[in-house]
C-alpha cells in the first residue's frame, strides 16, 4: 500500500502477516529514504499490535548509496497498535495508538520496491 504525505513524498507499507513483519518506507526526496521494520500480530479483527524493531535511512542512490540501520532495544520499545477503520481492495484507513491517522492506497507497481530484502 502507498500513501502521500506532501508533494514529492511517497510512503509505502508491506505487511507479511504469515511471518509477522511489516516494513514502512518513506521517500522524502530522490536522495533520502527512511524505513522501519516492525513485528506485527493481529490482536483482534480490527486491531494489529506493532513493535518497531529497527529503523534506518538511505542517503544517495545509484551505485554507492549510503545506508544506516538503527536497531532499537526491545526493552525500551513497548510497542503500540493500529486500529483498522476501513479496508477494501484499494484503500486502507487506520488510526495508531498515538492518534495518528494513516490512509494507504494500493499501488501494485510500487509494492516490490518496498518489500523487505530479508526479515529473518
Residue spans of the domains in the chain: they are 2-81
- Kindly give the pairing relationship between strand 91-96 and strand 21-29: unpaired
Q: Which of 81, 117, 90, 113 is nearest to 13 (CA)?
A: 113
Q: Which of 11, 42, 32, 38 is nearest to 116 (CA)?
A: 38
Residue 24 has pLDDT above 50, yes or no: yes
pLDDT computed for residue 108 by the predictor: 66
Q: How many CB atoms lie within 10 A of CB 46?
A: 12
pLDDT computed for residue 120 by the predictor: 42
Say if residues 104 and 26 touch (Cβ distance below 8 Å).
Answer: no
Residue 68 has pLDDT above 70, yes or no: yes
Say if residues 84 and 94 touch (Cβ distance below 8 Å).
Answer: yes
Number of helical H runs and strand E runs in the chain:
1, 9
Helix (H, G, I), strand (E, B) or coil at 111: helix
Amino acid at each position: 500500500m502507498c500513501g502521500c504525505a506532501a508533494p514529492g513524498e511517497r510512503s509505502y507499507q508491506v505487511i507479511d502477516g504469515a511471518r509477522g513483519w511489516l516494513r514502512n518506507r518513506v521517500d522524502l526526496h530522490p536522495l533520502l529514504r527512511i524505513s522501519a521494520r516492525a513485528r506485527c500480530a493481529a490482536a483482534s479483527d480490527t486491531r494489529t499490535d506493532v513493535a518497531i524493531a529497527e529503523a534506518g535511512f538511505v542517503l544517495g542512490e545509484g551505485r554507492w548509496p549510503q545506508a544506516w540501520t538503527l536497531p532499537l532495544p526491545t526493552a525500551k520499545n513497548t510497542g503500540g497498535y493500529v486500529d483498522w477503520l476501513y479496508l477494501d481492495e484499494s484503500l486502507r484507513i487506520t488510526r495508531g495508538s498515538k492518534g495518528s491517522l494513516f490512509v494507504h492506497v494500493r499501488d501494485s507497481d510500487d509494492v516490490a520496491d518496498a518489500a523487505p530484502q530479508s526479515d529473518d
